[in-house]
Structure 1
Amino acid sequence: MMNTLDQKPATINKALATLKTFFSWAVDKNHIPTDPASKVRMKRVQQVTGPKWMTDQEINRLTYALDTEKNEFKAARDRAIFYTMFRAGLRVEEVSDLKLTHVDFRRETVTVMDGKGGKFRVVPMHQDLKRTLKAWLPFRNASKKPAHQESEFLLVTERSGKMTTRAIEHMMDTYMERCGLLERDADGKKMDGQHSCHSLRHTFGKRLLDAGRPLNEVKELMGHDNIQTTMRYVTPSRNDLKKAIEAVR
């Protein structure tokens, strides 16, 4: 489930809990002599304490790390990915699923056709994003590789016609490690509370709110289901939070 299906710890733990219950019952009923799941440990689930966004200094460090990539193909693509999350607030899955037709330079928009929960949204194209996408597309379109020519997706790897979510996360983790924004433990696992791709999306939302954009507008641009999720990007008093939620209803 973890290595092949790339499923999250919480999803894995639900399956393990079911198996443990089943095998425990099977032992009690003498259907099997021992419980094969008794020594299987549950996966540690990282505690979510709220949105984690980046400071201006951290963003500068990360953009500098992106500039260290020597391969022109990867450098152009990786910057486009970075700005798609940082300047348009797309989730990793949404970035991976972007198609060439979802980018409209004339209207200066990026369209998420099937976001979380199947939600559709259109995000204005920031000039930083427009610049990096225009720098990436010549590399993308000039490729003679069949996998690239036959693909409808915006982001490709050097070998395949679509860049997966795992590949995007691994790529961004590498840059974050280079500039000291991500640390790992002795076993090579990411330590709790570290920055990730989602930090860029959170930074997008936080900056919009800090700039005075209406809550409802930020909610729609980020594809949130409810205003309470968007409100986690600011830290008002409990009374102010209640008033703000009532004001947008």
Structure 2
Amino acid sequence: MQMEEALRAFIEYLQIEKNASIYTIHSYTHDIEDFFDFSRQQNMQDFAAVSYVLVRKYLVECNQKKLAKSTIARKLSSLRSFYRFLMREGVIAENPFVLVATPKKEKKLPKVLYVDEIEQLLAQPDLSTPLGLRDRAILEVLYASGMRVGELVGLELNSLDLQVGTALVFGKGAKERYVPLGRPAMAALQQYLVKGRPQLASNDHEKHLFLNFRGGPLTARSVRRMLDKMIQQTSIYLKVSPHTLRHSFATHLLDAGADLRTVQELLGHVNISTTQIYTHVSNERLRQVYRQAHPRA
């Protein structure tokens, strides 16, 4: 079995048996193809002959490229899964990635915006244009729901329940969850649906909620570019991504007294340990306020 043929079979397995999202499949494909390229540079044409020594060389190159530990850990996870699949199919006898330790991820507290900074950001879109109405709705929905940017761009018109004020989101592993949107987000969506989206839509058959200027589905990259532009118009100096709004959503809920289990459900985290990082963020913000406000801090 050739490398490309094996990868196609693995992707089919992810789609059919694992019901993986398009973003997960893209990530796996990128990581595995990157390792294929490295193997060929090492004159290794048969992936079944990949050894522990070659894997170590690959990790050395990743470190020389100064890749983040989280990126290296993700690549190793992708390759372990791929080689497990090959073993299951009887293509190889051993998994060379089993003996490789995953680098410990650096523990960094997520950056969050203060409530007044969120308000400043939400005020930036030009509501006299269809794109401005769309951008305001996007920002409101991201902050009101805490959804991931990939989940946002995957929303379809029938994902919304405007009567109840919720959206059906397909998260990691194609897991479904309902998220509340709140009154400001619902108002922004209503404005966009009435005055903005009809002017952007190129046909009546497009199901996606958020559209680009050509009338097609919006991409995660486009949302990031839009957010970069909005941030440049504010006095916010923090580097902000769509995930910053997700972090801010969770932190502000905990600051206001929400319990951790509720925040876990809203974020779609499988393990509560993933959500617990936000308790550390809240504690750090408390210490920061104390240092700034107390005369003998």
CA–CA distance in 2 between the matches of 1:89 and 1:172? Answer: 15
In structure 2, stretches of 5+ residues that fail to align are 1-22, 46-57, 71-105, 284-297
Name the CA shift for 1:70/1:138 in 2 (closer, same or farther; >3 Å): closer
Deviation of residue 51 (structure 1)?
2.0
Name the CA shift for 1:228/1:93 in 2 (closer, same or farther; >3 Å): same
Among 88, 113, 136, the residue aligned to 1:79: 136
* Higher normalized helix content (fraction of residues): 2
Q: Does 1:137 align with 2:193?
A: yes
Name the CA shift for 1:11/1:197 in 2 (closer, same or farther; >3 Å): farther
CA–CA distance in 1 between the matches of 2:115 and 2:248? Answer: 10
Identical aligned pairs, as a percentage? 29
Alignment of 1:84-163 (within 5 A): 84-112=141-169, 114-140=170-196, 142-143=198-199, 145=201, 147-163=202-218
CA–CA distance in 2 between the matches of 1:144 and 1:178? Answer: 24
Q: Flag the structure with larger Rg.
A: 2
TM-score computed with the length of structure 2 as normaliser: 0.61
Deviation of residue 158 (structure 1)?
2.1
What is the number of equivalent residue pairs in this alignment? Answer: 207
Q: CA RMSD, aligned part only?
A: 3.2
CA contact (8 A) 1:13 1:43 kept: no
Alignment of 1:1-249 (within 5 A): 15-26=33-44, 42=65, 44-45=67-68, 49-66=108-125, 69=126, 72-112=129-169, 114-140=170-196, 142-143=198-199, 145=201, 147-181=202-236, 194-235=239-280
Name the CA shift for 1:144/1:86 in 2 (closer, same or farther; >3 Å): closer
CA–CA distance in 1 between the matches of 2:165 and 2:112? Answer: 25
CA contact (8 A) 1:98 1:153 kept: yes
CA–CA distance in 1 between the matches of 2:241 and 2:274? Answer: 19
Runs of 4+, deviation exceeding 6 Å: none
In structure 1, stretches of 5+ residues that fail to align are 28-36, 183-192, 238-249
CA contact (8 A) 2:134 2:197 kept: no
CA contact (8 A) 1:150 1:161 kept: no
Deviations along 1:185-241, one digit per CA (max 9) or x if unpaired, are: xxxxxxxx722111001111111111212211110111111101111111289xxxx
Deviations along 1:115-151, one digit per CA (max 9) or x if unpaired, are: 1121111112211111101111112453385x34220
Ranked by relative contact order (alpha carbons within 8 Å, sequence separation 6 or more), the top structure is 1
